[in-house]
Structure formats: C-alpha cells, structure tokens
C-alpha cells in the first residue's frame, strides 16, 4: 500500500483509510493508491463490503487545490469515482469532520454514506470560482432533488449531518465510534443482499423535477452573481442533470469545469483562499499563546454590542461595561433583539440564543474587568477618550491581560503609551456590524508583544473572523485606501458624473453597491462628523448633511428613499445642487464614462495599496486583497485590488495615473515607486523584493 492509503479487514468488511494531513485532500498521491486498492477489493471474493474512511480530523475536504493550474495526473478523481461505481458489493463512506467538494463527490460514488453527528457535507467549489468537477452536479440532484442540490452548489454552504439525513444525502447518522458503526452498517448491508444501486442510476428524484421552477430559481440566483461566472455555470450543470443522460450531463459538467478552472475568476478566488490563510500566519508559529477565558468589552453601543456578540458567538463569556445602567440595558436589549431576529430567521435556535445570552455579564464598574484576559474598548473615536479608558484599564486589568482598542483610525502607539504595559496593547479593528463582518484588522503597535499578537490572531479565527495584521498609520490599510478611492468622487460629480452613474460603474465592476449608495446606507452624518473633527470639507456631502439628508435613515441623502423603501431613487434636487456648486467653482461639466470613473477611483485605490506595501503597513500584497474582499466587498472574482492590478495591467494603471496627474497635479495620482516597479517586474513580490 502507500503512506496515504491503507486497507484493513474487519471480518468480511474491508476498510480503506485515507491519511493525507491536514485535511485529507484528494491529491494525486492519494488518488493513485486509492484507485488501485478499490480495484483489488472489488474483485476480492473474501471482501463482502467496503468502507472508505479518513484518518485525522476530517473526511476528504476536497480536491487538492494546490494541483490546479498544473498538468492533471491520472487517475483523476472522476476515474476513482467511476471505478467505485463498478463495485457490486456495498460501498460505504464513513464521514467525520467536513466532506467537501471532491470529498463529498467521492462519497457520492459510494452506495451509502454514514456520518458522525457533527459532520458537515458541502460542495463549496463555487467559492473557488469553480463548480463541482467530480460529478457532484449530476449525482447530488439524484439524491436530494434539484432544488436543494442547486441551493447547496450555488451557495457553496455545507449542511449538517441531520439535515443531510433528512435530505437523503446520508443514510445514517451514527454516534460513538463512527468507524466501528460504519463497519457494522456495511456488514448489515452485505447480509441484506443486493443489488446495490449506484447513485448514478437513481433517477426517481429527477423524474419529478420541475424544469420551469428550476429555471425560475436559477434566474433568481443569476441576478446575484454580479458578473461571477461560477454560479451561472453551476446552475447550467445541474440543469444538465435534469435534461441530459447521466453521461451527457457528466461530460457537460466537465466542459464547464475546464472552462472555469482556466479562467481569471477561479485564479483570483484560489489566490484569496491561500491569501486568507497566509494572512493568519504570524511570525513565531511556536510562540506560546496567552489563555483567553473571559473577554471584557467597554461600550455597549453599535460597535461594542457587535463585538461582544462576536465573542459570545464564539463561546466566550463577556463582561460588557457601560457608563450607566441605562446605556448598559440599552446595549443588552439590542443584543437580545439581534439574537431574536436570528431565531426568527431560523439561523439560530432558541436554545443557542439562551446559551449565548447566558454568556453576558453587565457592569458599570471598571473593577469588574479585573478577571478578563482580553479587554476591547469601543468607546468614542477620540484620542483623549481612548487614552483615559486605557489609563483606567492599566489600573484594573490583571497582569498579562491583552488590552485592545477598536479604533478605526487613531494612533495605537499613542494609546499604548497611556499605559504602563504597551507590550499588551493591540488594535482590534472590527467592521460594523462587528458580529457579522468577517474582516478583523489586527493593528500591531511598535511595542505589541509577539505572543500577544499571535494570541489575538488565533482568537480571531476561533470567532470566525478573517484576521489581517496591519501596522500603525491613519486608517491602517482598509480605511486609508478607502479615502484614496473616494478622493476624486466629488471632483467627478462637479465635472459631470451623477451619483448614480458613479455607483453604476461600481456595480458593473462587481461591487455590491457604489460609494454613494454605501454612504446613504451607512449614514452621511458619520463622515460629516469625522470631517468636521479634522477640519476637512466635502461640499456636496456637507451640504446634504446640513439639510438633514443623512441617507436612508432620514429618507434622503444622495438619493431619495420613498415610503421607507431602501431602493435609491436619483434625486433631481441633488443633481441641481451639484450643478450649482460646480458653477460656483467655474467647472465646465462634460460627459464622463465608466472607464474614467474606474481610473479615478480604483487606480488610486491600487496606488495607495502600493504605498502601504512600501511603508510595510501590510506585510504582503495579498493581505491587502484579504482586507478589501472581506471588509469592503471587493469582487472575489477579481481577487482584491492588488491581484486585480495584475489582471488590469500595472503598466496601464501607471500610464493612466500619470495622465491624470499631469492633468490635475493632484498627489492622489502620483504613481508610487513600488507600483512602477511592479509594472516592470509583473508581480508585487518581485517588486517588493527588488
Ligand atoms: N487543498 C489543498 N490544501 C487545502 C485544502 C484543499 N482542498 N483545504 C485546506 N487546505 C490546506 C490549507 O491551505 C491550510 O494549509 C491547511 O489545509 C488547513 O486549512 C473536484 C474541484 C477543510 C474547512 O474548497 O474549507 O474539490 O496554511 O486553515 O480552518 O469538485 O480548509 O496550513 O499550509 O482552512 O480547519 C473543494 C477548502 C476543493 C475546501 C478546514 N474543497 N478547505 O478549515 O483549516 S475544489 C474546499 C476548507 C474540489 C472537486 C473540486 C478548510 C476546511 P496551511 P485551514 P481549517
């Protein structure tokens, strides 16, 4: 046998065990011995049944993503599954951990699937810009019906064992010793006798498929694709399961897969898959981590409440501190209401809601933070206020407690200096709503201790966040680049573009919404307050705020919102205001196309990213991509601003920035030296290393 696949006999049942740490990916060095073993066991008279299981923490978590983009080595996964289906004796997949992608497809090649109670099963290929390429789009509908199969494949979201049992995806959920129970299950199947129908030959669920209903469901899903090809291809492949023979549908799936896997979007999403994991690796892998048993959160407002929920959702007891009982009660009521909404939506059970609420302890006394191992402040965004809070924390927090600020912009070094323990101070910049948004910018201050940093990076992943370590500068990585992206917005309005034209250019690029819609959603008054605090102005936005037009919450901002609807309606009054202000400035208006809008917003975005890299505020270009995809909705199919710069062509970006710099003399267009080097070298790594 091989180091990666072994066979053991349990009476008449042969158990094939895959052992390919860390996630039993279906690499070539697994596929080859697995194929050989199954062929032998198929023809071995003493073997009455076969169980496929995995060692380690999970069943097969998919094809080996590192093999994509390289020559395929036979046998492919599809060949292993096809061989499986030639086996007449009962075959059983014993699933623990996560059976994902090619792993679930391997299990679909078996007659039966049994799962541990905590197992999850899914086809997440769409998140890699792909579709299930091992027959998943053709076999899954045969087991659970086209509607549920389409939902699973287009969302890429795994389901739990119980749901899988109800859907017909697994045949039994077994507690206790999964392998022993799986062997017994296989033995019972063998004793019961065949014939055993492979999934490919089960057509009863397809026979009742309603093609018209399917097409309506697929059309709805396509609307949300926002230029991403994979969801559309997934639906097309599943439709083939209904309208084509098994083999024709398999061939159609293969053709769609090969087209996607060679495309930029799949390359971009694979880049992000590995980039997120790279970002979460802190130097000093074997550093000890500080024990975090209880978390303190100061401030029960929107951010503080969301942060407290994020930790409670991760199972941490939380002490929530406010300045008064009224403020504290308001915060706890909001948290309870948020959980109640999740229960009403079915995304949280009532039991889980009660369990999480039980994790909260409220207080108005700093002394109650003395038993916390991590304390996060989410108080007013003003340096003096933050420094006062940290001064108090310095007095009450236990030795070794990590003291974190949730500041979006402020100098974490200055905050750390207000304590006697700067080595314990770090920034944890959550994005609102903090219990929902994935991105967590972890701000490494000059004196932050390496073990404190390593502790919070690991903690971030435990609460389901995507951590990126950033350095100290105004706005860190995300918000600093956001300012660069928005610097030309007002000039574009004065020169002739309307808010809806600019927003349309963004949504056609793949953003969920444009900057003006986003401003109306978040509330224009937030930016207005920040600008006033810094003595800055934005003529149009300030004027709108002075008129009380804060956006959706006041029924109007850059757009009008009628009858409480959230649909933005272009407002002639706003366009008249823009024209009037442009006239005051003597700016002649002209037609502005989408290309110019992208050049004057997204090229400065990339340029600022290059400056951030030069200043080592971000460790690598891919970290910046992780920030922008997980914190600001940059389209995953374009891989993030720095990956997209490679697709767009850094040379073209430099040339157009030079053009706008000559035309406007505005520094925002001055190409960063690193960007010019990237245009010569072709990659950020080479440009940085050069
Ligand atoms: N291939 C190669 N490496 C993988 C991998 C994979 N499928 N999955 C994880 N890794 C590496 C990962 O890079 C990291 O490496 C380590 O394993 C631990 O991962 C034909 C075409 C299983 C839920 O999309 O969702 O099958 O950084 O940090 O948080 O139709 O990994 O340590 O060097 O994420 O415990 C479909 C992807 C593939 C699942 C575990 N499958 N993986 O999460 O660990 S395409 C997926 C995950 C496919 C077929 C198609 C998660 C996990 P390193 P980790 P984790």
Ligand 1 proximity of 101 Cβ (cutoff 6 Å): yes
Which of the residues 44, 67, 76, 125 is marked catalytic? 125
Residue-level pLDDT at 9: 96
Q: Quote the ligand 1 centre to 688 CA distance (angstroms).
A: 28
> Does residue 125 have an active-site annotation?
yes
Ligand 1 close to Cβ of residue 128 (< 6 A): yes
Predicted confidence band of residue 125 (pLDDT cuts 50, 70, 90): very high
Q: Indicate the helix (H) or strand (E) that contains 15.
A: strand 13-18
| 3-class SS of residue 418 | coil
Q: Give residue-wise pLDDT tens across range 7-18.
A: 999 999 999 999
DSSP character at residue 557: S
User: What backbone torsions phi and psi does residue 170 show, to the nearest 5 degrees?
Assistant: -120, 155
Is any ligand 1 atom within 6 A of the Cβ of residue 61? Answer: yes
| 13-61 residue pLDDT tens | 999 999 999 999 999 999 999 999 999 999 999 999 999 999 999 999 9
Give the right CATH number for 5-261 from 3.40.50.1100, 2.60.40.10, 3.90.950.20, 3.90.226.10. 3.90.226.10
pLDDT of residue 318 exceeding 90: yes
Tokens 């700093």 found at: 366
Q: Is the pLDDT of residue 573 over 90?
A: yes
Q: Are 123 and 83 in contact (CB under 8 A)?
A: no
Is residue 576 classed exposed, middle or buried when 0-12, 13-18 and 19+ CB atoms within 10 A define those classes? Answer: exposed
pLDDT at residue 210 greater than cutoff 90: no
Strands (E), 590-674: none
132 close to ligand 1 (CB < 6 Angstrom): yes
CA-nearest residue, atom 10 of ligand 1: 23
C-alpha 540/C-alpha 224 separation (Å) is 31
Q: SS3 for 625?
A: helix
User: Is the CB–ligand 1 distance for residue 455 below 6 Å?
Assistant: no
Active-site position among 32, 44, 76, 105: 105
pLDDT recorded at residue 346: 87
What is the residue extent of each domain of the chain? 5-261, 295-476, 497-584
Q: pTM here?
A: 0.94
State the distance from the centre of ligand 1 to the C-alpha of 20, rounded, in angstroms: 12
Tell me the per-residue pLDDT of 261-296, one tens digit each, with 9 for 90 and over: 999 999 999 999 999 999 999 776 678 899 999 999
Q: Evaluate: CB of 106 within 6 angstroms of ligand 1.
A: no
CATH number for 497-584: choose from 1.10.1040.50, 3.30.365.10, 3.30.2270.10, 1.20.120.80.
Answer: 1.10.1040.50
The pLDDT value given to residue 221: 87
Question: Could you count the other beta carbons within 10 Å of the beta carbon of residue 213?
Answer: 11
Instruction: Give the CA angle between residues 458, 448, 626 to the nearest 5°.
Output: 45
- Does 105 qualify as catalytic in the annotation? yes
Residue whose CB lies within 8 A of the most ligand 1 atoms, among 61, 149, 273, for a mutation test: 61
Confidence (pLDDT) at 207 = 81
- Atom 16, ligand 1: which residue's CA is nearest? 22
Ligand 1 centroid, distance to 561 Cα (angstroms): 43
Q: CATH number of the domain at 295-476, out of 3.40.50.720, 3.50.50.60, 3.40.50.10860, 2.60.120.620?
A: 3.40.50.720
């Amino acid at each position: 046998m091989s180091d990666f696949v072994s066979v053991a006999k349990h009476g008449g049942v042969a158990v094939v065990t895959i052992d390919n740490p860390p996630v039993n990916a279906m690499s070539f060095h697994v596929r080859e011995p697995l194929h050989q073993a199954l062929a032998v066991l198929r023809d071995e008279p003493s073997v009455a049944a076969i169980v496929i299981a995995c060692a380690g923490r999970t069943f097969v978590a998919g094809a080996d993503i590192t093999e994509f983009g390289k020559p395929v080595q036979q046998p492919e996964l599809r060949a292993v599954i096809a061989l499986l289906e030639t086996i007449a004796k009962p075959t059983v997949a014993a699933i623990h951990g996560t059976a994902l992608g090619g792993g679930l497809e391997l299990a679909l090649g078996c007659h039966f699937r049994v799962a541990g109670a905590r197992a999850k099963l899914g086809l997440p290929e769409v998140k890699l810009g792909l579709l299930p390429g091992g027959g998943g789009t053709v076999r899954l509908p045969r087991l659970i019906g086209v509607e549920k199969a389409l939902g699973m494949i287009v969302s890429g979201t795994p389901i739990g064992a119980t749901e899988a049992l109800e859907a017909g995806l697994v045949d039994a959920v077994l507690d206790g010793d999964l392998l022993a129970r799986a062997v017994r299950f296989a033995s019972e199947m063998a004793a019961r006798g065949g014939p055993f129908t492979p999934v490919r030959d089960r057509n009863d669920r397809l026979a009742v498929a309603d093609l018209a209903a399917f097409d309506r469901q697929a059309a709805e899903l396509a609307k949300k694709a926002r230029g991403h090809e994979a969801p559309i291809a997934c639906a097309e492949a599943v439709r083939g399961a209904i309208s084509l023979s098994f083999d024709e549908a398999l061939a159609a799936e293969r053709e769609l897969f090969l087209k996607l896997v060679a495309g930029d979007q799949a390359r971009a999403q694979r880049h992000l898959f590995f980039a997120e994991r790279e970002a979460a690796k802190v130097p000093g892998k074997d550093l000890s981590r500080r024990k975090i048993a209880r978390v303190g959160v100061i401030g029960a407002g929107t951010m503080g409440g969301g942060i407290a929920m994020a930790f409670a959702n991760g199972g941490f007891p939380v002490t929530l501190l406010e300045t008064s009982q009224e403020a504290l009660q308001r915060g706890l009521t909001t948290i309870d209401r948020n959980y109640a909404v999740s229960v009403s939506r079915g995304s949280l059970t009532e039991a889980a809601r009660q369990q999480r609420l039980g994790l909260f302890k409220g207080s108005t006394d700093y002394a109650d933070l003395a038993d916390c191992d991590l304390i996060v402040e989410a108080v007013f965004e003003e340096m003096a206020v933050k420094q006062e809070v940290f001064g108090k924390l310095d007095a009450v927090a236990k030795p070794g407690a990590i003291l974190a600020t949730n500041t979006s912009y402020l100098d974490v070094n200055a905050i750390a200096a207000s304590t006697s323990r700067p080595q314990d101070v770090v920034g944890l910049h959550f994005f609102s709503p903090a219990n929902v948004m994935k991105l967590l910018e972890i701000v490494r201050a000059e004196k932050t201790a390496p073990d404190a940093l390593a502790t919070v990076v690991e903690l971030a992943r435990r609460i389901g966040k995507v951590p990126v370590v950033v350095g100290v500068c105004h706005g860190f990585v995300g918000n600093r680049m956001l300012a660069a992206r928005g610097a030309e917005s007002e000039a574009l309005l004065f020169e002739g573009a309307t808010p809806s034209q600019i927003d349309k250019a963004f949504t056609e690029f793949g953003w969920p919404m444009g900057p003006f819609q986003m401003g109306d959603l978040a509330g224009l008054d937030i930016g207005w307050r920040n600008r006033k605090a810094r003595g800055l102005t934005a003529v149009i936005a300030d004027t709108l705020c002075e008129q009380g037009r804060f956006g959706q919450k006041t029924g109007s901002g850059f757009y009008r919102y009628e009858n409480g609807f959230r649909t933005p309606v272009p407002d002639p009054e706003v366009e008249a205001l823009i024209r009037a202000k442009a006239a005051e400035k003597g700016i002649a208006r002209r037609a502005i196309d989408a290309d110019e809008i992208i050049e004057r917003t997204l090229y400065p975005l990339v340029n600022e990213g290059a400056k951030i890299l030069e200043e080592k505020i971000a460790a690598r270009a891919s970290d910046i991509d992780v920030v922008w995809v997980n914190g600001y909705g940059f389209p995953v199919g374009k891989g993030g601003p720095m990956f997209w710069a490679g697709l767009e062509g850094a040379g073209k970006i430099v040339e157009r920035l030079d053009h706008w710099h000559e035309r406007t003399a505005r520094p925002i267009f001055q190409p960063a030296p690193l960007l010019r080097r990237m245009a010569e070298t072709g990659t950020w790594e080479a440009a940085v290393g050069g």
